[in-house]
A and B are shown apart, each in its own frame.
Chain A
Amino acid sequence: MYRVNLFQLLQIVSAILIALIIGLIIIFVVSEEPFRAAYYLLFGPLTRIHRSIEWIHMTIPIIFTGLAVSLVFQAKQFNIGAEGQFLVGAAGATFVALHFPPIGGLHILIIALAAMAGGTLWGAVPGLLKARFAANELVSSLMMNFIGFFLALYLVNHYFRDVQAGFMVSYRFPLTAWLPDLTIRPRLHSGIILAVIAVGLIWYFLYRTKWGYEIRMVGMNLKFAEFGGINVQRVVFYVQALSGGVAGLAGAVELMGVHHRFLWTSMPGLGFDGIIVAILARNHPLGLLFAALFIGYLRTAARLMERRTDVAAEVTIIMQAVVILLVTAEAFLQHWQRRRKEREALLDG
Chain B
Amino acid sequence: MDPYILMRNITKVYPNGIAAIKGVDFSVEKGEIHGLIGENGAGKTTLMKILFGMERPTAGTISVAGQTVKMTSPHTAIKMKLGMVQQHFMLVPTFTVAENLVLGMEPKQGITFLLQRAIELTEDLSRQYGLPVPPRAITSDLSVGLQQRVEILKILLRKAECLIFDEPTSVLTPLETKELFCAMQRLATEGKVIIFITHKLREVKEIADRITILRNGKRVAVCKAADVSEQDITRMMVGEAKIPAPVKRTTVSGPSVLSVRGLTCQRKDGHIAVCNLSFDVAAGEILAIAGIMGNGQTELVEALTGLYPCLTGTITVNGEDVSTASPRRIRLCGLSHIPADRMGRGIAAPGSITDNLIIDRYFKAEFSRHSIFGLRKKQIRQHGEILRQRFNIKAPTAMMPVQLLSGGNMQRVVIAREFTAAANLMIADQPTQGIDIASTLDVRQRLLDDRNAGKAILLISADLSEILQLADRIVVLYNGEITAHFSTPAEITTEELGYYMLGAAQQAGPEIEQAA
Contacts and interface: CB of A to CB of B under 8 A. Distances in A.
Interface of A: 1, 204, 208-210, 213, 216-217, 220-221, 223-231, 334, 338, 341-342, 344-346, 348
Interface in B126-151: none
Contacts of B345: 223-224, 227
13 contacts: A1-B400, A208-B374, A210-B363, A213-B355, A213-B358, A216-B355, A224-B344, A224-B347, A225-B359, A229-B360, A341-B16, A342-B58, A348-B19
Contacts of B344: 221, 223-224
Contact of B326 (A209, A217, A229): A229
B354 to A, nearest CB: 11
Contact of A208 (B19, B358, B375): B375
Interface in B355-403: 355, 358-360, 362-363, 368, 372, 374-375, 377, 399-401
Interface of B: 11, 13, 15-19, 22, 58, 305, 307, 326-328, 331, 337, 339, 341, 344-352, 355, 358-360, 362-363, 368, 372, 374-375, 377, 399-401
A213 B359 CA distance: 9
B59 to A, nearest CB: 9
A342 B362 CA distance: 36
Nearest to B368: A210
Given A209-B372, A210-B368, A338-B15, A228 B351 contact: no
Given A220-B348, A231-B328, A342 B355 contact: no
Given A208-B374, A208-B375, A228-B327, 9 more contacts: A220-B348, A224-B347, A228-B360, A230-B328, A338-B15, A341-B17, A342-B17, A346-B11, A346-B13
Contacts of A208: 374-375, 377
A188 B352 CA distance: 41
A228 B58 contact: no
The list of the 7 closest CB pairs from A to B, nearest first, reads A228-B359, A229-B328, A341-B17, A220-B348, A342-B13, A221-B348, A345-B19
Contacts of A227: 305, 307, 327, 337, 339, 345-346, 359
Contacts of A345: 13, 17-19
Nearest to B347: A224
Contacts of B16: 341
Contact of A213 (B15, B328, B350, B375): B375
Contacts of B363: 210
B19 A217 contact: no
Contacts of B341: 223
A204 B351 CA distance: 17
A348 B13 CA distance: 12
Nearest to A217: B348
Contact of B359 (A224, A231, A344, A346): A224
Contacts of B339: 227
